[in-house]
Structure 1
Amino acid sequence: MFEDKGVFKKTDKQVTQYKGVFLTDYNVNRRIFLQGEAGSGKTTFLSKLALDWCGEPHNISASDNSSLFFSDIDVLQSFVFVFHITLRNSVKQFDVYTLIKQQIIDSIYSQEDREKAYKLVNEIMKREQCLILLDGLDEWTGPGDHHNLPTLVVDHSKCVMLFSTRPWKLAELKITHLDRYTSVQLEGVNKPFELSRLILGRLVDKDDLELKCSAFKHYIAKQKLDNLLASPMMLSAIVCSFAEGIELKGSKCEIYILLLESLFKKANSEMRTFEHPPSSCFTETQYIQPNIDALNRLAELAFHLLFVNTKENSLVFSISELRQFKLDEQEQKEFALQSGILSSARNAALLRPSSSFSFIHLSMQEFLAAYHISRNTDLVDGVISVYLNRQREAYRDISQVFIFLCGLDVTCAEKLSSMMDERNALSQSIILAGHREAVANGHNEALLRLSIFKFDQQTYTNDLHRIWTNNAKNVISMNVDDQNKRMSPANDESASHIKIDLSLCRKLKSLVLIGEELKNSILLTGNYTIKVIVCKVNSVYIMNKVHAMCLYWAYKLNHD
C-alpha cells in the first residue's frame, strides 16, 4: 500500500513472498502494518510466519518459486529471534520490551530465573536484529497518553515490528510520519477453490472428491457466495456446511449461526428446533434451542463488553464479568469453555494467580452483540446512542455489529443507520455491506439511511443505486467520478448513463463531478447535460468547459 495525505491506499502490487513484506529496495522495513478485515487470516499469517522462522531455510527453483506463496524462508533467517505478542492480552501496556517480559518470559521461566532472562533478552535486542509480531492492534487501547502505538526503547532500534490490524484502527490513530511505516493488506485466500479442495478431501471419500469439487464450484456460482470465499473462516464454514448437505444463500448471519451450531454441538449434543425462532436464520437450527439460555447470557456479555465496559477490558475480561451475567456457575462456565465460544488463559502473578477470558474471535463477539440488540431494540436509543456520542470514531467499531443487525432485525438496523447518519458516522461501504446482508436474509426493501454518496465505475451497482433512490431526499453530498468509463447499474445492459434526478435532492449542499465523458454518462434533471470537473453548490468552483445552463442550475439550486 502507499501513503497519501495521511492514509494508506491500495496499489496493484501483489506481495507473494516474505521479502515483499520486510524489504524495500533491499533495505529492511522497520515498522510494518499488516491490514485485513475480520476473519481474513491475520493471526494465522503471523503464526505461519513464526513457524516458518522455526524451520530450515531451503532453496527453491525459479519455476517453483512463482507457485509457492511465502516460500523464501531464508529472508526470515536474518532475524535472530522472533517474539509473538497478542495485544488483546495487554491493552494498556505500550512498551514492547515489557510485553515480551510479561507474555513470554514470565510464562516459561520460574521466578528466580526471570531476572536473568530479562537481562539476556535486553542484551539480545540491543545487539541483534529481532522480529516482534504484534497481533491485533485494533484490539489494543493504549495507556491513554501520547502513546498511540506500542513502542520500542531507543536501544532496541535494530528490531523490526510487524503489527496486524483491521484497517479502521490506522484511520483512527492518525499516525504521523506514515512514510516511516510500510503497509501491506491481507485480502484472504488467494485460491479459494484449491483450499476448498483440501478441506473437502478430509470430509468426503476419495472417490467422490472430483465430483464434490465440481458440485461445490457450481453451488458457489449459483448462490453468489464468491465474495465470502476470501475469508478463511467463512470459506471453512461454507465448505463444511456444503459437505453436510446444508446450502447457504450469502448471509453472514447464516454462516455465524452455523459456527454457533458446530460449537454448541461439542458441548451439548441435545437436538431441538425453535417453535418461534428469534430470527429467520435460526429456523433450521438444531443445537441452539436447547442451549438458548447460555446463548442469551453470552450475547448479553458480548454486548456489555463492547458497548458498556471500558475499552481496556472489552475483549479480555475476568471472572467478575462472568459473574455479572451468571456465567461463573460451574455448568455455565464449562459449557462456554467446552463449546469454544470462550477461551481462558492463566495470568502469571506473584500472588493469587487468576484467569482471563475472551471470545473465540472478535467477529463472533460482534455477532452475539448484534443478536442481543435484536432482542432488546430499546438499546439503540439508550446504550448505543450514548456510546456513539462518547466515541468519536465509534462507527468504525460498530460497523460489523451493524452489518449483522441488518440480517437479524432490519427495522432495528434502519433505526441505527439513521442515528449514525445524523452523527456523520456512516460510510457508503458499511451501508452497502449492510444492505447486501439484509437482502441475503430476505429483507429486500431495507431502508437504510445514507446522506453522502460517491459514484464511480467500481462502486456504481444496482445495490448502490437502490440505496440512493431510497435516500435521494436525504442526500447532502454527492461525488461522481467517471474518469475511465461510463457507468450503469451492473445488470442494466440498456442503461447508457447514471440517472440522477436532482429535483429529488432537496438537501443537497455539495456536488463534485469528475470526468471527460460526463456529457455522455450523466443525465441531470431538466435534461441539463453538464460537463464539469468540480462544482460545489454553496460556493461554485468550475474547471474545464461548462454549459451555461449548468451555471444557472447551480445558482438556482443554491437559492431555492
Structure 2
Amino acid sequence: MWEMCKYKGTFMKTDANVRQYKDLCFTDTQVNPRIFLQGEAGSGKTTFLAKMTIDWCGGSHVSSESGNSSLFFRDVDVLQGYTFVFHITLRNSVKQFDVYTMIKEQIIDSIYSLEYREKAYKLLNEIMKRELCLILLDGLDEWTGPGDHHNLPALVVEHSKCVMLFSTRPWKLAEVNITHSERYTSVQLEGINEPFELSRIILSRLVDKDDLDLKCSAFKDYIAKQKLDNLLSSPMMLSAIVCSYAEGIELKGSKCEIYILLLESLCKKANSEMREFEQPPFPCLTGSQFIKPNIERLNRLAELAFYLLFVNAKENSLVFSNTQLNTLKMNGRELMDFALKCGILSAKLNASAQRSTSSFMFIHLSVQEFLAAYHIAHNANLIHDVLSVYINRKKNAYLDISQVFIFLCGLDISGAEALSIMMDQHDVLINSEFHNYWLQTTILAGLREAVANGHNEIRLKLSRFRIDEQNIIDLHRIWTNNAENVLSLEVCIDKVSFENGRMSSANDEPASEIKIDLSLCRKLKRLNLQGDGIFIEGKYTIKLIVCKVHSV
C-alpha cells in the first residue's frame, strides 16, 4: 500500500509505503477525516476493509500474534481509538448519499425488529454526534448517486466527528471533485506484498506436507518461465494460478484463461458433466471441460451481466431483483437454480414491513465484467448499438468499462479495436486541456491481455502517449500503429538499464534503442521531452536508449 498525491488533476503514487494503521488513519497527529483506498479489481480492497473490522472487533490481543505478518497493520490499538466501526457495502445503497441512512438500512434494520428500530435510530444518531466513529464504505465505483450535486456519500454536519474510508477502483476518483481546502488522504492498494508466502500457504492445503518444499520451489520456477509475475499481486489471480498449478494446469498470463478456470470450478459444483469444445470460439476455452456442457446457461448469464451493466438502470446494475430479471426475461427457475447452486450468482433476503423479497448479485464485479465481455465478443454489434450510448451517458463512463475492454482484448480483437477507437475519441473530447493517463494504462493492459491470448496483431487506438522506462517497450508497439494520429507525446526517460522483456521482439530481446519518427506525426500538438536518455537525430527523429539487464 502506497500514499498518493494529487498531480495535474489525477492521483499519482508516491514512494511512501503504508504498513501501519496509524499511517492510514493519521497525518502527523491529526485524524484523517476522509480516506480513499484505491486499487484495481481483485487487489484485496474488500478483504482489507473486512480485516479492519475484524481487527477492531478482536482488540489488542490480535497484535500478539507471531510471524512475518505482524509487521503489517498489526497496530490494532490505533483502531481501538474509534468507539464504533460501521461496515457498509455501497452497491446496496445506490441512489442514496446520506451515510446515516445507509447505516440504518444495512445494519440497524438487520439487527432490530420493527418495533425497536426507532429507538435504535435515535441511539445511532447520538453515537454519530458524540463519538469518534470509523465508517468503512466499500465499493465507491459500484455506487451511483441520486443524480444531483452529490458525487460522494456524505455525512450531515452534526456527524462531522465520524471518519469515512472509501474503497474504490482508481478510475472513480477522476469523478470525485475534492477541493484543496478539504482534508483527506489517498492510498493505493497494490495487492499481496509477499506472493510466494501466500502461495506456500495455499499449496500447503493442496499437496502432501513432505512435497511442500519441492512444490514451492517448482512453483517459483514455473512463474518465472511463464512470466506470470505481473499477475501475482492480485489475491484473486494468485489463488487461481496456484490452484490450477496444483492440478497440473499451466497458464500463460491470460486473465481470460484464469476467469474461465474460475467459471469451470463453479460450473463443476452444479453440473459435473465433462465435455470439451471441438473448435473453441476463443483461445481461453481450449481444454476447458465443464464450460461446454453448461454453455447455454453461461450464455444467458453473460447476456444478463451485459444488460445489467450497460442497458439496465445504473442503480440496478450490480444488485438486482426479480423485477429486473422479469424485465430481461431471465427469471427461469432452471437458470436461477443453476446460477445460485454453482455460485456465479448469490442471493440475499431483504426483509421489509410488508413482505420479504430477494436481491441478487454476481459473485464478484470482475466476474460480471468478464461475462459481459464474453457476450460482446459474441455480439459485436453491441459496441456501436449499446456501448456508444453508455459511454456518452457521463463524463468518465469510458473508464468505467476498462475491465470489460481488457477482457475483450483477450476474446475478440476486432471488437476491442472498435471499442478502443470509441474510448480514445471520448478521452480526447473530454480531456482537451491535460492527459490523465488512465486510458493509456487501460490500453496497455488490453495489449498485454491480447498478446497473452495469441492476438499479436491487435491494433489499438491511442492519441496521447506518456512514455517512461516502465512502459517504453509495450507503448512503442502501440505507437507504430498510431503515429499519424498522435496528438500528444510526453517522454520521461533516463539512459538506464532495466528489465522489461514482456513483448519486444521475436527473440524476446528488447532493442538497445527505439526510434520515433516525428515526421509521421502530422497531428501532433504537444511534445514534452525530459531525461538524459533521449537523443534527437536529424530533423524529425527521437532516439530513446534502452538496454536489458541479464544479470545483477
CA distance in 2: counterparts of 1:352 and 1:270, whole angstroms: 39
| Structure 1 counterpart of 2:346, from 339, 343, 347 | 343
For 1:64-213, list aligned pairs within 5 A.
Answer: 68-177=71-180, 179-213=182-216
Q: Is the CA contact 1:253–1:281 (under 8 Å) kept in the aligned structure 2? A: yes
CA distance in 1: counterparts of 2:283 and 2:468, whole angstroms: 35
Amino acid across the alignment from 1:466? R
**Could you tell me which residue of structure 1 aligns to residue 458 of structure 2?**
446
**Could you tell me which residue of structure 1 aligns to residue 392 of structure 2?**
389
CA distance in 2: counterparts of 1:351 and 1:7, whole angstroms: 46
Between 122-131 and 294-303, the greater mean CA deviation after superposition: 122-131
**Could you tell me which residue of structure 2 aligns to residue 502 of structure 1?**
518
Shift of 1:289: 1.0
Secondary structure of residue in 2 paired with 1:424: helix
Name stretches of at least 5 consecutive residues in structure 2 with no aligned partner.
Answer: 429-437, 545-552
Q: Specify whether residues 281 and 63 from structure 1 end up closer, same or farther in structure 2 by C-alpha distance, changes over 3 A only.
A: closer
Is the counterpart of residue 479 in structure 1 residue 481 in structure 2?
A: no
Secondary structure of residue in 1 paired with 2:172: helix
Deviation track 1:364-422 (CA, whole Å, cap 9, x = no partner) reads 11100000000001111211122222332122111111110000011111121122223
CA distance in 1: counterparts of 2:94 and 2:180, whole angstroms: 23
| Structure 1 counterpart of 2:319, from 316, 321, 331 | 316
Shift of 1:494: 8.6
Is the counterpart of residue 400 in structure 1 residue 403 in structure 2?
A: yes
Deviation track 1:67-103 (CA, whole Å, cap 9, x = no partner) reads 5211111111111111110000011111111111000
Is the counterpart of residue 234 in structure 1 residue 237 in structure 2?
A: yes
**Could you tell me which residue of structure 2 aligns to residue 514 of structure 1?**
530
Amino acid across the alignment from 2:300? R
Name stretches of at least 5 consecutive residues in structure 1 with no aligned partner.
Answer: 532-560
For 1:1-12, list aligned pairs within 5 A.
Answer: 1-12=4-15
**Could you tell me which residue of structure 2 aligns to residue 332 of structure 1?**
335
Say which structure is richer in strand: 2
CA distance in 2: counterparts of 1:253 and 1:48, whole angstroms: 29
**Could you tell me which residue of structure 2 aligns to residue 250 of structure 1?**
253
Shift of 1:205: 0.6
Amino acid across the alignment from 2:480? T
CA distance in 1: counterparts of 2:528 and 2:499, whole angstroms: 20
Q: Specify whether residues 329 and 460 from structure 1 end up closer, same or farther in structure 2 by C-alpha distance, changes over 3 A only.
A: same
Secondary structure of residue in 2 paired with 1:269: coil
Q: Specify whether residues 66 and 313 from structure 1 end up closer, same or farther in structure 2 by C-alpha distance, changes over 3 A only.
A: closer
Q: Is the CA contact 1:403–1:430 (under 8 Å) kept in the aligned structure 2? A: yes
| Structure 2 counterpart of 1:380, from 380, 383, 389 | 383
CA distance in 1: counterparts of 2:375 and 2:209, whole angstroms: 43
CA distance in 2: counterparts of 1:70 and 1:300, whole angstroms: 41
Q: Is the CA contact 2:398–2:426 (under 8 Å) kept in the aligned structure 1? A: no
Amino acid across the alignment from 1:480? V
**Could you tell me which residue of structure 1 aligns to residue 435 of structure 2?**
none
Shift of 1:24: 1.3
Secondary structure of residue in 2 paired with 1:107: helix
Q: Specify whether residues 216 and 403 from structure 1 end up closer, same or farther in structure 2 by C-alpha distance, changes over 3 A only.
A: same
Amino acid across the alignment from 1:510? R
| Structure 2 counterpart of 1:467, from 458, 465, 478 | 478
Amino acid across the alignment from 1:193? F
**Could you tell me which residue of structure 1 aligns to residue 549 of structure 2?**
none
Shift of 1:60: 5.8
**Could you tell me which residue of structure 2 aligns to residue 542 of structure 1?**
none
Q: Specify whether residues 63 and 255 from structure 1 end up closer, same or farther in structure 2 by C-alpha distance, changes over 3 A only.
A: closer
CA distance in 2: counterparts of 1:273 and 1:377, whole angstroms: 25
CA distance in 2: counterparts of 1:68 and 1:456, whole angstroms: 33
Deviation track 1:116-153 (CA, whole Å, cap 9, x = no partner) reads 11111111111111111100011111111111111111
Amino acid across the alignment from 1:300? E
CA distance in 2: counterparts of 1:443 and 1:383, whole angstroms: 25
Deviation track 1:455-494 (CA, whole Å, cap 9, x = no partner) reads 1223212x21111112222212211223x43589945879
**Could you tell me which residue of structure 1 aligns to residue 372 of structure 2?**
369
Between 147-156 and 104-113, the greater mean CA deviation after superposition: 147-156
**Could you tell me which residue of structure 2 aligns to residue 547 of structure 1?**
none
Give the RMSD, CA atoms, in angstroms: 2.3
Q: Specify whether residues 98 and 64 from structure 1 end up closer, same or farther in structure 2 by C-alpha distance, changes over 3 A only.
A: same
CA distance in 1: counterparts of 2:65 and 2:241, whole angstroms: 35
Amino acid across the alignment from 1:509? K
Q: Is the CA contact 2:518–2:540 (under 8 Å) kept in the aligned structure 1? A: no
Shift of 1:528: 6.5
Shift of 1:352: 2.4
Secondary structure of residue in 2 paired with 1:277: coil
Q: How many residues align?
A: 526
CA distance in 1: counterparts of 2:10 and 2:181, whole angstroms: 8
Q: Specify whether residues 445 and 163 from structure 1 end up closer, same or farther in structure 2 by C-alpha distance, changes over 3 A only.
A: same
Shift of 1:525: 5.1
Shift of 1:12: 0.7
| Structure 2 counterpart of 1:455, from 433, 453, 467 | 467
Shift of 1:192: 0.2
Q: Specify whether residues 416 and 340 from structure 1 end up closer, same or farther in structure 2 by C-alpha distance, changes over 3 A only.
A: same
Deviation track 1:192-243 (CA, whole Å, cap 9, x = no partner) reads 0000000000011101100110010000000000000000000000000000
Q: Is the CA contact 1:196–1:235 (under 8 Å) kept in the aligned structure 2? A: yes
Q: Is the CA contact 1:297–1:326 (under 8 Å) kept in the aligned structure 2? A: no
Shift of 1:276: 2.9
**Could you tell me which residue of structure 1 aligns to residue 225 of structure 2?**
222
**Could you tell me which residue of structure 1 aligns to residue 59 of structure 2?**
56
CA distance in 1: counterparts of 2:235 and 2:191, whole angstroms: 6
Between 446-455 and 205-214, the greater mean CA deviation after superposition: 446-455
Which has more radius of gyration? 1
**Could you tell me which residue of structure 1 aligns to residue 292 of structure 2?**
289
Q: Specify whether residues 322 and 503 from structure 1 end up closer, same or farther in structure 2 by C-alpha distance, changes over 3 A only.
A: same
Secondary structure of residue in 1 paired with 2:260: helix
CA distance in 2: counterparts of 1:95 and 1:473, whole angstroms: 49
For 1:412-451, list aligned pairs within 5 A.
Answer: 412-424=415-427, 427-451=439-463
**Could you tell me which residue of structure 2 aligns to residue 543 of structure 1?**
none
Shift of 1:338: 1.2
Q: Is the CA contact 2:63–2:70 (under 8 Å) kept in the aligned structure 1? A: no
CA distance in 2: counterparts of 1:510 and 1:241, whole angstroms: 47
Deviation track 1:429-457 (CA, whole Å, cap 9, x = no partner) reads 11111111000000111111112111122
Secondary structure of residue in 2 paired with 1:387: helix
Amino acid across the alignment from 1:75? V
CA distance in 1: counterparts of 2:211 and 2:198, whole angstroms: 17
CA distance in 1: counterparts of 2:116 and 2:79, whole angstroms: 29
Shift of 1:5: 4.3
Query: Given the two structures, how large is their TM-score scaled by the length of structure 2?
Result: 0.91
Secondary structure of residue in 2 paired with 1:118: helix
CA distance in 2: counterparts of 1:60 and 1:379, whole angstroms: 52
